Structure 1
Amino acid sequence: MDATEDVVAKVLIIDDGNAETLELIKQFCADNHLIGLKTHSNNVMSVLKSNVDLGGILMSESYSGSPHGGIDLAVKLHKIRPELPIFLRRTQSSTLEDLPKRAQDCFCAAYHVDDMDALKHSLRDFIFSYYFPNAMVRGIQRITEDAMLTYFRHFSLSCETPYIVKDSIVCGEVFTLVPLESRWCRGYMMLQCENRTLKLDSSSHDPYVKPKAQRISDVLGEITNMVWGSFKSRYVVDEYRVLMSQTQVPMLVMLEEKNISFGTSTPQLCFKYTLTDLDDQSSPPVEIFQRLVFNLSWSPEDFKEVQVSTEELVDAGELEFF
Structure 2
Amino acid sequence: MSDEMQLVSKVLVLDNSPECFIQIKQFCDQNGLIGLKVTSTNIMAILSAYVDLGAILLSDNYCESQADTLDLAQQIHRARPELPIVLRKTSTSNFDDLPEKQRKLFCATYTIDNMSPLRKVIDEYIFSLVYPNALVRGISELTVSTLENLSTLENRFKHIKVITETPYIVRDRIIFGEVCSLIPLESSWCRGYMMLQTEEGGILDVLGYNELTMNEGPAAFRTVNNILAELTNLLWGAFKTHFIAADDPGPGFASEVPIVINHQHKYISFGSENPHLCFKYILTDENNSHFIPVYQWFAFNLYWSPEDFKEIYASVDDFVDSGELELF
Does the alignment reach a TM-score above 0.5? yes
User: What 5-or-longer segments of structure 1 have no aligned partner?
Assistant: 201-208
What is the alpha-carbon root mean square deviation over aligned residues? 2.5
Aligned to 2:189: 184
> Superposition pairs for residues 203-214 of structure 1, below 5 Å?
212=214
Matched residue, 1:113:
112
Select 2:296's aligned residue among 290, 296, 299.
290
Q: In structure 1, what is the equivalent of residue 10 of structure 2?
A: 10
| Equivalence for 1:66 | 65
Q: CA–CA distance in 2 between the matches of 1:140 and 1:218?
A: 22
2: CA distance, partners of 1:310 / 1:320 = 10
CA deviation string 1:82-117 (max 9, x = no partner)? 000111101149997543221222211111110122
TM-score by length of 2: 0.86
Query: Following superposition of structure 1 onto structure 2, how do residues 127-142 of structure 1 map, counting pairs within 5 Å?
Result: 127-142=126-141
Question: Match of 1:206?
Answer: none
Task: Confirm or deny: 8 A CA contact 2:259 2:270 kept in the other structure.
Answer: yes
> Is the Cα contact below 8 Å between 2:181 and 2:228 reproduced in 1?
yes
**C-alpha distance 143-92 of structure 1, shift in aligned 2 (>3 A):** same
Structure 2 equivalent of residue 42 of structure 1: 41
Matches within 5 A, 1:127-166: 127-152=126-151, 154-166=159-171
Instruction: Give the distance between the partners of 2:288 and 2:122, measured in 1 at CA.
Output: 41
Find out whether 1:258 has 2:266 as its counterpart. yes
Contact 1:94 1:111 in 2 (8 A): no
Q: Map of 1:91-106 to 2, 5 A cutoff? A: 91-92=90-91, 98-106=97-105
The 3-state SS of whatever aligns with 1:126 is: helix
Mark the CA change 1:99 to 1:302 in structure 2 (over 3 Å): closer, same or farther: farther
1:299 Cα deviation after fit? 0.9
CA distance in 1, matches of 2:64, 2:92: 20
Task: After TM superposition, give the deviation of residue 152 of structure 1 in Å.
Answer: 3.2
The match for 2:284 among 256, 276, 283 is: 276
Check whether the contact 1:176–1:221 (CA below 8 A) recurs between aligned residues.
yes
For structure 2, list consecutive stretches of 5 or more residues without a partner in the other structure.
Answer: 153-158
The structure in which a higher percent of residues are helix is 2
Count of residue pairs brought into register by the alignment: 308
Q: Is the 8 A contact 1:184 1:302 kept in 2?
A: yes
Q: Distance in 1 between matches of 2:97 and 2:127?
A: 27
Give the match's secondary structure for 1:55.
Answer: strand
The share of aligned pairs that are identical, in percent, is 44
